[in-house]
Homo-oligomer: A and B are copies of this chain.
Amino acid sequence: MDRYAELRSVARGLGVDAVALVPGPNFDRVMKKPFYTNERAFAVVIPAEGAPAAVVPKLEMRSWDLVGFEGQTFDYRDETGPRAAFASLAAHLPLARLAVEGQVMRVFVHHAFLTAYPGLDIVDGEDAVSALRLAKTEAELAVLDEAIRISEAALAETLADVRTGLTEKHVEKLLIHALFRNGAEENAFRPIVAAGDNSARPHASARADYSICAGDALLLDCGARWRGLNADITRTVFVGHATDEAHTVYAAVLAANRAGLGIARPGATAHAVDDAVMSVLEASPFADRIRTKTGHGLGREVHEAPYIMRGNHQVLRPGMVFTVEPGLYRIGGFGVRIEDDVLITPDSCRSLTSFPRELTIVGR
């Protein structure tokens, strides 16, 4: 079995001679071993036909040995830099067109290829390469389930400790501790802990100088990363009590969340899901508070295809996982977001997240 068969097919489909991978989600999935580089140039080149080849920092060769690479490796020392290794690669494996992962590869690697291959036509193959991991395997789903279990346990424990007078930063700390205490290996992303007017910012930063007040909305958006897969869940609660406005807004967001889960199934498009969710919000009295689309794919990256938005006519297929996270945000007021992680099943969909969605009052 050629573990590069799918990538070779992508190369042929894109009309390129080869696909280059750098460490990241696609690399992890294909190579089955974590591998690390940071400031050092690294790339694996998988041609449409024939043996792959790689440029690897000499420092990483012991780790690289564990990957069990089948092709030629050109290594280099920090003292001399990667230029000669890339030149050797170019002599070994001539290329005219190369597809790269535009969302993952950084410009210095791009430039290293261009220097070694003058006139090389580098195309952004991100969509085609990452499409290979759209349908999650059973093994990936089992790992994701655990990442979600960890995240939901952390969310529950954190909410149990919330009370007025705590700063957003303090609650952020409680949440991060709870994530790691429950088994997270990493944060999938820096959690969002946003109270009061900060909850109206979709990507707010926790403030050290804002203490939670009675009546505040409190939005928590977090996820554990576990064995390479990422959870992503948001709940918005109210502290002490909820105003009438809060109840009405919350009901609209929850109805939109339910609409997304009601329509997502194999054969539906990402557009249709967003349209169903947004239609609920647009028909509410709060249409002017819409700031975001419905959601994004979730897996080895926190944000990946399929992006659940109008205009994306990608058809949903079994095994795809994405967030449904409608929100309403009144600038200077408060925001509400309810985010679940949804799996497309053979005949419908299922929320992998099961944390209660009802309006919840905490801290009393």
Residues of A whose CB lies within 8 Å of any CB of B are 34, 36, 38-39, 59-60, 62-63, 78-80, 100-108, 110-111, 122, 124, 126, 173, 176-177, 180-181, 183, 185-187, 190, 200-205, 291-293, 296, 302-304, 307, 309-311, 329, 331
Contact = CB atoms under 8 A, between A and B. Distances in A.
A225 to B, nearest CB: 10
A159 to B, nearest CB: 18
B190 A181 contact: no
Contacts of A103: 39, 106-108
A59 B202 contact: yes
Given A79-B310, A309-B79, A181 B187 contact: no
A101 to B, nearest CB: 8
A102 B205 CA distance: 27
A302 B37 CA distance: 12
Contacts of A78: 293, 307, 309
Nearest to A33: B205
Number of copies: 2
Interface centre among A102, A107, A180, A302 (most CB of B within 10 A): A107
Contact of A190 (B186, B200, B302): B186
Contact of A107 (B107, B173, B185, B293): B107
Contacts of A38: 302-303
13 contacts: A38-B303, A39-B304, A59-B203, A59-B292, A60-B203, A62-B200, A62-B329, A63-B201, A102-B111, A107-B107, A173-B180, A176-B185, A177-B181
B105 A106 contact: yes
Contacts of A110: 107, 110
Ranked 10 nearest A-B pairs via Cβ: A102-B108, A102-B107, A62-B201, A79-B311, A105-B107, A39-B303, A38-B303, A107-B110, A36-B203, A180-B180
Contacts of A311: 79-80
A219 B339 CA distance: 40
A51 to B, nearest CB: 25
Nearest to A176: B180
A108 B110 CA distance: 11
B107 A62 contact: no
Contacts of A292: 59
Contacts of A201: 62-63
Contact of A177 (B62, B180, B186): B180
Given A38-B302, A106-B102, A107-B107, A203 B293 contact: no
Contacts of A177: 177, 180-181
A196 to B, nearest CB: 14
Nearest to A80: B311
A91 to B, nearest CB: 23
B102 A104 contact: no
A108 B79 contact: no
Contacts of A106: 102-107
A301 to B, nearest CB: 8
Contacts of A36: 190, 203
Contact of A62 (B60, B176, B331): B331
Contacts of A105: 106-107
Given A63-B204, A177-B181, 16 more contacts: A34-B205, A36-B190, A59-B203, A62-B201, A62-B329, A63-B201, A63-B203, A63-B205, A79-B310, A102-B111, A103-B108, A176-B180, A176-B185, A177-B177, A177-B180, A185-B190
